[in-house]
């Protein structure tokens, strides 16, 4: 049995930030990450971040990940396990882990006093005929393939979804030397930031709003996509179909929180459309309805890496505080973090997220 | 078919060690740092598995170990998530039929 006051599941932006905050507070922390790298989806973010300076604005995503990992390593009271998958939370408080060491796998147990869950999100798909053909990938998958493994997804891509992820990844496809045939979105408006959309348009890639994908065709790999205009009810208009010869379709229609551990841990859950799916109810310190389980990052609701980092810090300081490990400047730090989070969710763009959070706060 | 990115405005392309592996008996090469799926994809192999019921061709979908659409038999072990399993020298990678079985 491994000893830890606080177990952090997930080594992405929220988990790393949670571990740092708990480490600063003096708790014994175990941070587990299933992949070989820490940083979560930051490792493939080659673009510059917006937001406040405190959350590393104008740094590239992968550099932010590296900084957080370096920070974590400064604390002797934080143990970090990569290649380690949390398998289950048991009724007696034990969490089981599977750790890969080379080609071997070992089984470990930990009984933490508290758990911070930052398991991120899953990519959604879309229903259309032959949507399972090789060549049809989640947009994040294409980003992973290009920016982590330096492999092109194919020759000519149709991007489905003109939100920020769809726009950013389209631009990254161009940077990798891949042709982007077009970006479509069923909505009448581009969902992502104008600055990203303009960059794409300047590169000559058409953005077709009010269009959806109707079907894909191919034998063992995608060969053709058919798109069509949609009416006011988002239904394809017969006769408006258009064929596109593409070998890749990138699906960028949003993410849904990775919620398995909250269900297993017995947290009260709620379906919140604005947050991307089922999420645990929580107070403003990110404590769920199960006293010793906290939530942070995309698994709390789909947002951005900037807010995931702030949430991680809040959960890390709060979970430590509740166990009696109180950071010397706790009150001021917590006040700052809560204000920062409010700032990140401010304005018109944040209205959607704010509406979502109102539904799950207690 | 080579799908490797050779020039990139932001990412430095590192020089990496070449690794030999076997795909359905055929020798292929990938790089250190590849996953099995990225090495196969770079070699133009995009069908990794077949759906269990209708045997439809499947590639990866998520590339981060969530979706189970990239399962293959690796060194005799079935249901390996090839999208996150690091490529190693002399690995034996095979297409898997059905749910797989442990020999």
**Domain ends where: A224, A251, A278?**
A251
Residue B5 domain flag: no
Last residue of a domain, one of A207, A227, A251: A251
Residue range of the domain that includes A264: 6-122+255-358
Give which of A101, A143, A144, A179 to mutate to test B binding, by max B Cβ within 10 Å: A144
Tokens of A2: 């491994």
Do A78 and A168 lie in a common domain?
no
Residue A267: partners with Cβ closer than 8 Å, 6 or more residues away:
A280, A281, A288, A289, A290, A293, A295
Asked if residue A1 is part of any domain, the answer here is no
Q: How many angstroms from the chain centroid is the CA of residue B10?
A: 26
User: Is A349 within the bounds of a domain?
Assistant: yes
Contacts of B69 in chain A (CB under 8 A): 132
| pLDDT for B26 | 97
Report H helices in A188-329.
194-202, 260-265, 305-322
Q: For residues A98 and A245, state if they share a domain.
A: no
Do A115 and A143 sit in the same domain of this protein? no
Q: Could you give the CA distance from residue A145 to residue B22 in angstroms, rounded to a whole number? A: 21
Nearest by CB to B66, which of A36, A122, A136?
A122
Instruction: Indicate whether A163 belongs to any domain.
Output: yes
Question: From edge to edge, which strands make up the β-sheet containing A6-9?
Answer: A78-81, A29-32, A6-9, A114-117, A293-295
The DSSP annotation for chain B comes to: ---B----SSS------EEEEEETTEEEEEETT-BHHHHHHHTT----EE-TTT--EE--SSSSSSS-TTEEEETTEEEEETTTSBP-TTEEEE---TT----
Report yes or no on B9 lying in a domain. Answer: no
How many residues appear in chain A? 362
**pLDDT score of A54:** 64
Sorted by sequence, the CB contacts under 8 Å of residue A278 that are 6+ apart come out as A257, A259, A262, A263, A269, A270, A271, A272
B103 or A239, which is more confident?
Answer: A239
Instruction: Check whether residue A244 and residue A136 sit in a common domain.
Output: yes
User: CA nearest A148: which of B84, B50, B95, B40?
Assistant: B84
Same domain assignment for residues A197 and A283: no
Q: How many angstroms separate the Cα of A303 from the Cα of each of A189, A279, B4?
A: 20, 13, 32
Number of separate domains in chain B? 1
Range of the domain at B62: 18-92
Q: What does the pLDDT look like over A153-174, one tens digit per residue?
A: 999 999 999 999 999 999 999 9
Q: Which residue has the higher pLDDT, B64 or A225?
A: A225
A103 and A175 inside one domain: no
Residues in chain B whose Cβ is within 8 Å of chain A: 3-11, 13, 33-35, 38, 41-42, 46-48, 51, 56-67, 69, 75, 83-84, 86, 88
How far, in Å, CA of A37 to CA of A43, rounded?
8
Q: Which residue of B has its CA nearest to A137?
A: B61
Same domain, A73 and A218: no
* Structure tokens given for A153: 């997804």
- Asked if residues A153 and A178 have their Cβ atoms less than 8 Å apart, the reply is yes
A75-88 per-position pLDDT tens digit: 999 999 999 999 99
Domain-embedded: residue A37: yes
Three-state secondary structure call for residue A204: coil
Q: Give the pair of three-digit tokens for residue A300.
A: 């709390």
In a domain, A67, yes or no: yes
How far does Cα A327 stand from its chain's mean position? 28
Do the domain assignments include residue B13? Answer: no
| Residue found by looking up tokens 């010397």 in the block | A328
N-to-C CA span, chain A: 34
Q: Which residues of A touch B6 (CB under 8 A)?
A: 177
Q: Which ranges constitute the DSSP H helices of chain A?
A: 13-25, 61-73, 139-147, 164-175, 194-202, 260-265, 305-322, 330-344, 351-358
- Residue B2 falls inside a structural domain: no
Q: Are A109 and A145 members of one domain?
A: no
CATH code of the domain containing B35 = 3.10.20.440
Are residues A315 and A331 both part of a single domain?
yes
CB contact under 8 A, A175 and B8: yes
Q: Domain check: are A116 and A139 in the same one?
A: no
Q: Is A104 exposed, middle or buried (0-12, 13-18, 19+ CB in 10 A)?
A: exposed
Query: Is residue A276 a part of any domain in this protein?
Result: yes
Q: Please report whether residue A246 resides in a domain.
A: yes
Please report the ipTM that was assigned to this predicted complex: 0.95
pLDDT tens per residue across span A89-135 = 999 999 999 999 987 889 999 999 999 999 999 999 999 999 999 99
Do both A116 and A259 map to the same domain?
yes
Exposed / middle / buried, residue A185 (Cβ in 10 Å: 0-12, 13-18, 19+): buried
Asked whether the beta carbons of A79 and A8 are under 8 A apart, the reply is no
Supply B59's token pair. 């590639």
Percent of chain B surpassing pLDDT 70: 98
| Number of domains within chain A | 2
Please check whether residue B82 lies inside any domain of the structure.
Answer: yes
Torsion of CA A239, A240, A245, A246, to 10 degrees: -130
Does B99 map to a domain? no
Task: Choose one of A220, A251, A282: the last residue of a domain.
Answer: A251
Q: Are residues A232 and A306 in the same domain?
A: no
* SS3 state of residue A135: coil
Which of A108, A79, A78, A80 has its CA nearest to residue A94?
Answer: A108
- The answer to whether position A308 is within a domain reads yes
State both tokens at B38: 């990225």
Q: Do B63 and A221 touch (CB under 8 A)?
A: no
CA distance A274 to chain B (A): 22
Is A96 in contact with A115 (CB distance < 8 Å)?
no
Q: Among all residues of chain B, which has the CA nearest to that of A249? A: B61
Q: Both tokens of residue A144?
A: 């992973």
Find residue B57's DSSP bridge partners: B50
Give all strands (DSSP E) within chain A, no chain letters.
6-9, 29-32, 78-81, 84-89, 95-101, 104-110, 114-117, 121-123, 136-138, 156-160, 179-185, 207-209, 211-218, 222-229, 242-244, 248-251, 255-257, 269-272, 277-280, 293-295
pLDDT tens digits for chain A (362 residues)?
Answer: 999 999 999 999 999 999 999 999 999 999 999 998 899 888 777 777 666 556 666 678 788 888 999 999 999 999 999 999 999 999 999 999 999 998 788 999 999 999 999 999 999 999 999 999 999 999 999 999 999 999 999 999 999 999 999 999 999 999 999 999 999 999 999 988 899 999 999 999 999 999 999 999 999 999 999 999 999 999 999 999 999 999 999 999 999 999 999 999 999 999 999 999 999 999 999 999 999 999 999 999 999 899 999 999 999 999 999 999 999 999 999 999 999 999 999 988 789 999 999 999 99
- Tokens describing residue B25: 């008996």
């Amino acid at each position: 049995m491994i000893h830890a006051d606080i177990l952090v599941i997930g080594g992405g932006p929220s988990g790393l930030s949670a571990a740092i905050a708990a480490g600063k507070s003096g708790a014994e922390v175990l941070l587990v990450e299933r992949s070989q790298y820490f940083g979560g989806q930051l490792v493939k973010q080659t673009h510059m971040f917006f937001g406040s300076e405190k959350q590393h604005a104008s740094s590239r995503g992968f550099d932010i990940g590296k900084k957080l990992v370096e920070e974590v390593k400064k604390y002797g009271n934080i143990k970090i396990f990569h290649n380690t998958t949390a398998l289950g939370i048991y009724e007696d408080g034990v969490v089981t882990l599977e750790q890969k060491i080379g080609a071997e796998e070992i089984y470990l147990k930990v009984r933490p006093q508290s758990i911070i869950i930052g398991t991120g999100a899953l990519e959604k798909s879309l229903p259309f005929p032959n949507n399972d053909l090789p060549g049809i990938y989640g947009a994040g998958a294409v980003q992973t393939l290009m920016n982590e493994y330096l492999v092109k997804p194919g020759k000519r891509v149709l991007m489905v979804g003109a939100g920020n992820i769809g726009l950013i990844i389209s631009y990254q496809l161009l940077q990798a030397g891949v042709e982007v045939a077009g970006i479509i979105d069923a909505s009448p408006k581009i969902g992502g930031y104008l600055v990203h959309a303009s960059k794409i348009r300047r590169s000559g890639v058409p953005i077709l709003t009010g269009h959806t994908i109707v079907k894909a065709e191919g034998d063992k790999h995608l060969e053709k996509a058919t798109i069509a205009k949609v009416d006011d009810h988002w239904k394809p208009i017969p006769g408006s179909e258009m064929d596109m010869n593409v070998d890749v379709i990138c699906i960028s229609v949003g993410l849904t929180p990775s919620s398995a551990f909250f269900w297993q841990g017995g947290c009260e859950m709620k379906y919140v459309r604005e947050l991307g799916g089922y999420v645990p109810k929580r107070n403003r310190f990110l404590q769920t309805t199960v006293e010793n389980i906290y939530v942070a990052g995309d698994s709390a609701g789909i947002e951005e890496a900037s807010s995931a980092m702030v949430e991680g810090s809040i959960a890390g300081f709060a979970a430590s505080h509740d166990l009696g490990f109180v950071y010397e400047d706790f009150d001021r730090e917590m006040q700052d973090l809560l204000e920062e989070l409010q700032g990140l969710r401010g304005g018109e763009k944040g209205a959607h997220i704010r509406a979502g959070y109102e539904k799950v706060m207690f | 078919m080579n799908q490797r990115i050779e020039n990139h405005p932001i990412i430095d392309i590192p020089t990496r060690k070449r690794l030999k592996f076997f795909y359905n008996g055929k020798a292929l090469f990938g790089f250190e740092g590849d996953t099995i799926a990225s090495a196969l994809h770079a070699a133009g192999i995009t069908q990794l598995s077949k759906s269990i019921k209708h045997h439809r061709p499947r590639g990866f979908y998520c590339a981060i170990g969530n979706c189970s659409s990239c399962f293959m038999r690796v060194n005799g072990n079935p249901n390996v998530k090839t999208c996150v399993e690091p490529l190693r020298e002399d690995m034996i990678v095979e297409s898997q039929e059905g749910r797989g079985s442990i020999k």
